[in-house]
Amino acid sequence: MFRFQALFFYMILLLSSTLCAEEVKPVYLGFDGEFGVEQSTSAQAIERGILIAIDEINRAGGVLGGRPLRLISKDNRAVTARGVKNLKEFAQTPDLVAMFVGRFSPVVPEYVDLAHELKMIVLDPWAAADAITHNGKKPNYMFRLSLRDGLAMPAMLKHTLSKGAERIGLLLPNTSWGRSNLASAKKYFLDTPEPHMVGIEWYQWGDQTMIDKYQALRSSGAQAIVFVANDSEAVILCREMAALPPEQRLPIVSHWGVTGGNFVNLVGEDLAKLDFSVVQTFSFYKAEPEMAQRVLAVSDRLFGLSRIEQIESPVGVGHAYDLTHLAARAIDLAGTTDRQAVRDALERVTQYRGLVKYFEQPFTPDNHDALGAEDVFMATYRLDGAIAPVSPGD
């Protein structure tokens, strides 16, 4: 009799444990990032931002009444074919609600058609090409909390005027990202008399020198260079410029791809010889102090990074953190992991006080870009490597 009772209670306990395990099935988010790109820090920053937010969400009870969020990360090495493979695998993963993407604009726009075919929510915390969210799809499965080229280029061009530069040259990559920026620049020039463009030079990924293109723009009368680049290309140009006589070193106003890698350490002391500024949309120095300290405390516990100066590629951290919280709110609002329902709910999330800013309604059916022109500012690298906002006119 005792053995029967013991066996009965054991079976009840086992059944209860099984039911509890089923009740707390995780809800998954995916991340398709450029982890394998040498010297890149952007994927790592985005992943940290997601994990910090997930830690907060799970400690507060998770989503859907107690289910924990989990992250699955995959490396695309900035290769579109790898990213497409990752997207397809994520789409087949049960209870995976949405996929984050990484830094490289030439890669992400290639996901748009497939994401809509598979009804996969894509969350963009970095890639800036306008066509990612301005894709003509209804309903739209692409959501961005990040800079876009249509906002970046006007901010960069306006900043050249603070350098006393009325004539500028454009140095652009021969990619969809470069063409997106040229389209934004041309639109700006149609409406604004200053500054005006004196020339365009195109470079290829993998070019080992930039100085001839730089000098061609300078010879055309450019007083400043608007530079669209990632960290590897910026290192080449800055080293070559630093070797020039001081009077030949024009101000460089850069897109933010340079902040996605080990740029400042690779350029080293040469950076102090240059007038180099970069467009941004997030800085821990501009964040609400209490929230910034809370996020840094979690960062310290998870990664051993407790100071602003230790945070590499900070826009990746800030944007991904807020996008994760918004995704969690949408999951709860939808009451399900069904992607179509969560997609619809993302357009209805309101009143979120984030790390980047307070969002009254980040996404609507007609606007899937959570940031606007008022969120864009210029920054510069400090000697300790931190990216700090600059005041207008600096």
Residue 364 lies in a domain: yes
Q: Examine the domain organization and report whether 42 and 102 are in the same domain.
A: yes
Question: Mapping DSSP to helix (H, G, I), strand (E, B) and coil, where does residue 67 land?
Answer: strand
Give the whole-angstrom CA distance, residue 238 versus residue 267: 7
Residue 301 lies in a domain: yes
pLDDT at position 7, please?
A: 44
Q: Which residues contact 188 (CB under 8 A, 6 or more apart)?
A: 153, 154, 157
Contacts 24+ apart (CB under 8 A), 11-15: none
Residue 77 lies in a domain: yes
Looking up residue 135, the CATH number of its domain turns out to be 3.40.50.2300
Q: Examine the domain organization and report whether 126 and 159 are in the same domain.
A: no
What distance lies between CA 25 and its chain's CA centroid?
Answer: 29
Domain boundary among 227, 255, 280: 280
Residue 206 lies in a domain: yes
- By the 8 A CB rule, do 132 and 108 touch? yes
Q: Examine the domain organization and report whether 115 and 160 are in the same domain.
A: no
Residue 365: both structure tokens together: 């059916």
Domain boundary among 280, 315, 350: 280
Q: Examine the domain organization and report whether 155 and 247 are in the same domain.
A: yes
pLDDT at position 338, please?
A: 98
pLDDT in tens, 159-186: 999 999 999 999 999 998 999 999 999 9
Q: Is the pLDDT of residue 111 over 50?
A: yes
Q: Examine the domain organization and report whether 167 and 249 are in the same domain.
A: yes
Q: Examine the domain organization and report whether 95 and 201 are in the same domain.
A: no
Give the number of domains in the chain.
Answer: 2
Strand partners, 324: none
Q: Examine the domain organization and report whether 155 and 210 are in the same domain.
A: yes
Q: How confident is the model at residue 193 (pLDDT cuts 50, 70, 90)?
A: confident
pLDDT in tens, 254-290: 999 999 998 999 999 999 999 999 999 999 999 999 9
Q: Examine the domain organization and report whether 202 and 215 are in the same domain.
A: yes
Give the whole-angstrom CA distance, residue 315 versus residue 283: 7
| Mean pLDDT, range 45-69, rounded to an integer | 98
Residue 17 lies in a domain: no
pTM of the model: 0.90
pLDDT in tens, 350-393: 999 999 999 999 999 999 999 999 999 999 998 888 999 987 55
Which helix (H) or strand (E) covers residue 76, if one does? none
Q: Is the pLDDT of residue 16 over 50?
A: no
Domain hosting residue 271, numbered range? 150-280
Give the whole-angstrom CA distance, residue 188 versus residue 201: 18
